[in-house]
């Protein structure tokens, strides 16, 4: 079974130990909610798993072709004239490259329908769409955008509001081929209709899901659809804090360690 195994992960931020020798595993059917008070390192852990940040020690083991897709809490999209569809199809996977080539060829033919070279270019792009079965992916991408409230696919990214950009980033994360989908506060800036659609879509996602959200109802909707057992992982966080009481009473800048916890709530998809 494909998955990600994490062993003895260590991450610090200055004098603060975010996590110390954290170990857990994620399989391809897992739905995981990461819960903890602010400052315990939830977003940092997601970024380390996604390869955006690094850990000082520890091992992350997975197959060589294991794909991780990450949605940042405040995603940054490419501007410079990029359209919504170009942003959605951004990626190195063959199917994403094929989708970009097809959209570019179709747009070029609209502008110059009589040009033989442009016609040939579109024909070759259509053949690649067949080869990689990209037609379904294109339909799914446009459906996701529509359901999330982004109906104008050719709209420029720089003309979108913050909420619309978040919707485009979510659609991009959902359409990319991935074994593990990591979502950091996916419901931020979404209206109720978009959240409800996401609640219905995510349980059917083909890969594993790891998410951070303050929306407990959303979290329950994603995890409670599975009727199998719950595995709860407590990640002990040792935070070194300067004690003002010690400074006042002893004149020394002493420190003490306070234990905090990140809790991973995990429900596995039922195979029965």
CA-CA distance, 152 to 163, in Å (whole number)? 14
In a domain, 155, yes or no: yes
SS3 257: strand
CATH number at residue 201: 3.40.50.300
In a domain, 231, yes or no: yes
Would you give per-residue pLDDT tens digits along the chain (272 residues)? 689 999 988 998 888 888 888 888 888 888 888 877 777 788 999 999 999 999 999 999 999 999 999 999 988 887 766 889 888 888 888 999 999 999 899 989 999 999 999 999 999 999 999 999 899 988 999 999 999 988 788 888 888 888 888 999 999 999 988 999 999 999 988 889 999 999 999 988 989 999 888 888 888 777 643 333 334 444 443 333 333 334 444 444 444 444 444 455 444 444 44
Look-up of token digits 């879509």: 201
168 touches 190 (CB < 8 A): no
Of 151, 175, 199, which marks where a domain is finished?
Answer: 175
Domain residues for the domain of 39 are: 1-67+178-272
> Where is the domain boundary, 141, 175, 209?
175
The pLDDT assigned to 28 comes to 84
DSSP 83: B
Q: What is the pLDDT of residue 181?
A: 96
Nearest Cα to Cα of residue 213 among 187, 192, 234: 187
Q: How many CB atoms lie within 10 A of CB 149?
A: 14
Point out the domain boundary residue: 175, 202, 235: 175
My answer on whether 91 and 154 are in the same domain is yes
Q: Do 167 and 203 share a structural domain?
A: no
Give the pLDDT of residue 173: 94
The domain total for the chain is: 2
Residue 265 sits at φ, ψ, to 5 deg, of -95, 125
Query: What is the reported pTM?
Result: 0.78
């Amino acid at each position: 079974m494909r998955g990600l195994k994490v062993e003895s992960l260590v991450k610090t931020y200055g004098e603060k130990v975010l996590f110390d020798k954290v170990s857990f595993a994620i399989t391809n059917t897992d739905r995981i909610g990461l819960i903890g008070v602010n400052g315990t390192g939830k977003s940092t852990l997601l970024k380390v798993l996604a390869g955006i940040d690094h850990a000082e020690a520890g091992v992350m083991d997975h197959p060589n072709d294991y794909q991780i897709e990450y949605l940042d809490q405040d995603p940054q999209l490419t501007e410079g004239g990029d359209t919504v569809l170009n942003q959605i199809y951004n990626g190195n996977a063959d199917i994403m490259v094929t989708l970009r080539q097809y959209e570019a060829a179709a747009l070029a033919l609209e502008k110059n329908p009589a040009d033989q070279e442009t016609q040939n270019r579109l024909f070759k792009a259509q053949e690649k769409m067949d080869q990689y079965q990209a037609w379904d992916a294109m339909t799914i991408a446009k459906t996701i955008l529509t359901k999330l409230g982004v109906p104008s696919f050719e709209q420029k990214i720089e003309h979108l509001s913050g909420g619309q950009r978040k919707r485009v980033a979510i659609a991009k994360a959902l359409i990319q081929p991935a074994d593990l989908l990591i979502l950091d506060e996916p419901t931020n800036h979404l209206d109720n209709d978009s959240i409800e659609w996401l609640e219905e879509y995510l349980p059917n996602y083909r890969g594993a899901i790891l998410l951070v959200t303050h929306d407990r109802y959303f979290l329950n909707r994603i995890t409670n659809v599975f009727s199998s057992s719950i595995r709860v992982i407590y990640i002990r966080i040792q935070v070194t804090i300067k004690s003002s009481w010690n400074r006042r009473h002893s004149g020394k800048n002493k420190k003490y360690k306070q234990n905090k916890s990140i809790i991973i709530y995990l429900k596995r998809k039922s195979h029965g």
